[in-house]
Copies of this chain bind each other. A is one copy, B any other.
Amino acid sequence: MNRKFGVIDLGSNTARLVVYEVDAQGLVTEVDNVKRGLRLSNHLRDGRMDDEGVRKTLHAMRQYKELLDARSISDVIAVATAAVRQAENGDELIRRIQQETGITVRILSGDDEARYGNLAVLSSMNVGDGITIDIGGGSTEITYFQNRQLQKSVSFPFGIVTLTRMFFHSEIPDETGQSALRHFLSRSFSSCPWLINKQCPVIAIGGTARNLAKIHQRSVQYSMDSFHHYPMSAGQVASILDHVSQLPLEERRQVPGISKDRADVIVAGIAVFDSLLKHAGSEELFISSKGLRDGILYEHVWGADAPADIREVRERSIQQFMNRYQVDKPHSYQVKNHALSLFDQLLAHGLHKYGPPERGILEAASLLHDVGRMINVHESAEHTFYLLSHVLLAGYTHRERLLIAMIASFKSNKLLQCQLTQHADIVPKAGKNVVEKLGHLLIVARMLDRSLSQAIHTTRLVEEAGQWVIECQGVLDGLLEYSMLDEPLAKLSKAWKLPITFRPVTDTDKT
């Protein structure tokens, strides 16, 4: 029986309810996502949340409660961040929510917020050292981690809504306001000496970060629909800041990709990223679409510790993908074993020079080569490519995700050429050769288990009179596999410029 639970995040800008479903294998699927833009930061008056803010909050919480009741979900994790934390009457609000809905809302400390953001990033990205920054409506959390271990964290009591109110009083942020904001941020960051000149990547979390990515992606006509792990240079961030801060609000709303209900506050948000990059001496910003709520979710499902190793992140996300798209696991693992074994044997014989990165890509592609069948058995390669290039596979960069997608769905040079043309901005032409070679290798590995029955259990690559022969150790003579190996091996030979054939060896032959 699948378990459902809700996560409510009463943020300073938005109140959101996300419903997750966890199946018996630990697969977590987001099944619903409702948000209300409450802008609670704007309802803080002299340190208290005003009546309108209280009323709107209670109204949203009652609606969420009804929604959860309608789906018989009683397991709810509810948290509140800066706006409620900063309000003198925050505790009172929490009590009223408890009375009216039965939902217990936990007020997160700034440290909690920082830790959850950090957990979300370390659980979903391939990063070693870095700085995370999560800008909310009324607070900003920053962490520094080294070797995937949280070192320092800080929570500043300002966010995009409050900074906008503090510094920008006209439609176009005036130079005085901008300069004042820069000084303010610089002073704030200076209070954390551990931030200065770290020269490591900055990972930006939250709606402003995603919107920044979207604006940039639109401007360069980026070929992939994905924000997570999207890389931007410090220069690109500065140039977008420069552009949007010179536009009056109405024109700013028209900037391609900008979120209409964020256009009024986004300048302050981008200014924070820009200042932090300068302060930390960082050249590179990555977007994380995983944040606070995901950190809470990960803690709930997998515990409070981030995966110590990127391999763990990747294994988990491959497992999630396999479960989600109902992959035939014994077959996929067998294909992976055949593919990696051939890869390793070819390497041992000095027949290629690929290393662990390519091996890792091949491994992921082998395990996921069949995901498209869940959409349809017809044209399943195209569906595999669609899924792997459109659905987040956490722990991999965009380039890695596309390489995995291309190898997993490899069928012909024609299809590959289309994919490469479509994504020329992410996978350079030079990638064609490795995709083709590993793609053909994967097709042979798939054919080695074409009957999905693991009848061929091992392969041995041997050289015989200038020819390479794959000895296939199988349980029976005349396996379906043997009728279907000639064609893919001929193509493999051509792509690798190596004559490779095969020979069946039946288990009983050896006894």
Query: What residues of chain A have their CB less than 8 Å away from a CB belonging to chain B?
Result: 29-34, 36, 59-60, 62-64, 66-67, 70-71, 225, 373, 375-379, 382-383, 386-387, 390-392, 450-453, 455, 476, 478-480, 483
Q: Which residues on B sit within 8 Å (CB–CB) of A391?
A: 375-376
Q: Would you list 26 pairs from A and B whose C-beta atoms are within 8 A, ordered by A residue? A: A30-B377, A30-B378, A33-B377, A34-B450, A34-B480, A59-B483, A60-B483, A62-B478, A63-B451, A63-B479, A66-B451, A66-B453, A67-B452, A67-B453, A67-B480, A70-B451, A70-B452, A70-B453, A70-B455, A71-B453, A225-B382, A375-B387, A375-B391, A379-B390, A382-B390, A383-B390
Bound CA–CA A46/B421 (angstroms)? 53
In the bound complex, do residue A63 and residue B377 qualify as a contact, i.e. CB atoms below 8 Å apart? no
Q: Which residues on B sit within 8 Å (CB–CB) of A382?
A: 225, 390
In the bound complex, do residue A31 and residue B66 qualify as a contact, i.e. CB atoms below 8 Å apart? no
Bound CA–CA A483/B382 (angstroms)? 40
Partner of A451, one of B33, B67, B377: B67
Nearest to A376 among chain B residues (CB) is: B391
Bound CA–CA A62/B477 (angstroms)? 11
Nearest to A59 among chain B residues (CB) is: B478
- A378 to B: closest C-beta gap in Å: 8
Bound CA–CA A157/B480 (angstroms)? 31
Q: Which residues on B sit within 8 Å (CB–CB) of A375?
A: 375, 387, 390-391
In the bound complex, do residue B379 and residue A225 qualify as a contact, i.e. CB atoms below 8 Å apart? yes
In the bound complex, do residue B31 and residue A377 qualify as a contact, i.e. CB atoms below 8 Å apart? yes
Q: Which residues on B sit within 8 Å (CB–CB) of A392?
A: 376, 378
**A375-B375, A375-B387, A376-B390 given. 6 additional CB < 8 A pairs?**
A29-B377, A30-B378, A60-B483, A66-B455, A70-B452, A71-B452
- A407 to B: closest C-beta gap in Å: 21
Q: Which residues on B sit within 8 Å (CB–CB) of A376?
A: 390-392
